[in-house]
Every structure is written in structure tokens, then in C-alpha cells.
Amino acid sequence: MIKYNFYSSIAGIDEVGRGPLAGPVVACAVVIPNDMHCKFIKDSKLLTPSSRVKAYEYLTEHALSYGIGIVDEQTIDTINIRNATKRAMEQALSLLHYTVELVLIDGNMEIDTELPQKTIVDGDRLHPSISSASIIAKVYRDSIMERYALQYPEYGFAKHKGYGTKEHIKALLKYGPCPIHRKTFLNKIFAKQQKLYF
């Protein structure tokens, strides 16, 4: 566990949704109290869905401030996923209503901010503020994809959240893409098979 005890306010940032074939990329920036203790605050990937929801509810109630940035699939296709992820993280940070002394970002990509920042590979496992951001971003994005599942039930978004599972690929081959699919991602996947055209 990485500690930065000499900072009184740290914003953790993490994103969810870089890899899926459909839906937005979502980032969260969050400031949590230094003395916050919750057994569910860990990398969101290590939590069960029900534990993630409990942690999300706890964090959104007890965080000092949090912001959520969302960049949709059309923008991802236009500016690419790296730039879209960066934009989502910057949006999330801009929505914080709290004085921040340091920004900790999961991964190795810095963002445009005048605040001091540090990128940490596997930061969602190493610092509670980034873990908290990963949880909020994950649950929030999952809720978006569950709503899309009602709109486009044939793709199974509620189950795979837009990732390229066998079930999802099979549905794509049968029905073709829907409006929330990332066309640039699908072009790469199906270029050799020439199954889909855009």
C-alpha cells in the first residue's frame, strides 16, 4: 500500500471501459477522508458485483467530493480511445468541489492539470483513493450499460457490459452493430473476416 501521509487531500483517478466494443469510457476522480475505513475499498475487479454496489453506495455518501467523466462511443471513434480516456479523467477532476493537493492516477498516462500528479501502474490495488475511483467508475458505467441492455436487448449488454465476449461477437455477427458500438474497434476485429461494413 502506497502512503502519502504528508498530503492532506489527495484525488484518486481511475477509468473503466477502455477495452469494450460498445458504450462509453467512464472515469472517476474522488477525494476520500484520510481516516476512511471500509473493507470493500479495494480494486473494483477484486470485488463481487454486490460488494461493488455496497462500496459505491458507501463511497458516494462518505467521499469528500467526487466527479464522473463520460466520453461516448462516437467521440471515442473520432479522437481514439487514449485521448477519450484522458478527456474523461480531466472531466472527472474538473467536477471535484474540493481543494486538492495531489492527483494520483491509475496507469501511466498523465492528464492536463496544473495540480501535481503521479501515475501509478496498478494504482487501484495500491492506494485507497484510486481503488475508490475504480469502484465508482465501474458501478456507474455498469449502470449505463444495463440501461442500454433494455434498449438493445439482443446484444446482452447487461451481462458483458460491452466487452468482446463470445456471446457479444455472436450477436454482432447476427445483428450487426447498434448505435452504441465503437465502429473503429469493430473495424479492427472484423477486418479480416469482412463480416461487418460501416
Residue 141: exposed, middle, or buried by beta-carbon count in 10 A (0-12, 13-18, 19+)? buried
All three cell numbers of 90 = 480531466
> How far apart (Å, rounded) are the C-alpha atoms in residues 156 and 167?
8
Residue found by looking up cell 465501474 in the block: 138
Query: Among residues 57, 53, 59, 62, which one has the least CA distance to residue 146?
Result: 53
The CA dihedral of 101, 18, 67, 47, to the nearest 10 degrees, is -90
> How far apart (Å, rounded) are the C-alpha atoms in residues 124 and 140?
16
| Helix-strand-coil split of the chain, %, nearest 5 | 45, 15, 40
Q: ∠ at Cα 100 (99, 106), nearest 5°? A: 150
The fold of the 10-150 domain, in CATH, is Nucleotidyltransferase; domain 5 (3.30.420)
Phi, psi of 136 (to 5 degrees): -60, -45
Q: Is 17 left (phi over 0), alpha (psi -120 to 50) or beta?
A: left
All three cell numbers of 175 = 445483428
Check: CB of residue 70 under 8 Å from CB of residue 84: no
Longest CA–CA separation in the chain, Å: 56
- Per-residue tens of pLDDT for the chain, all 198 residues: 556 667 889 999 999 999 999 999 999 999 999 887 766 676 677 788 899 999 999 999 999 999 999 999 999 999 999 999 999 999 999 999 999 999 999 999 999 999 999 999 999 898 999 999 999 999 999 999 999 999 999 999 999 999 999 999 999 989 999 999 999 999 877 664 544 444
Domain locations in the chain as residue ranges: 10-150
> What is residue 8's predicted lDDT score, i.e. its pLDDT?
85
> What is residue 77's predicted lDDT score, i.e. its pLDDT?
97
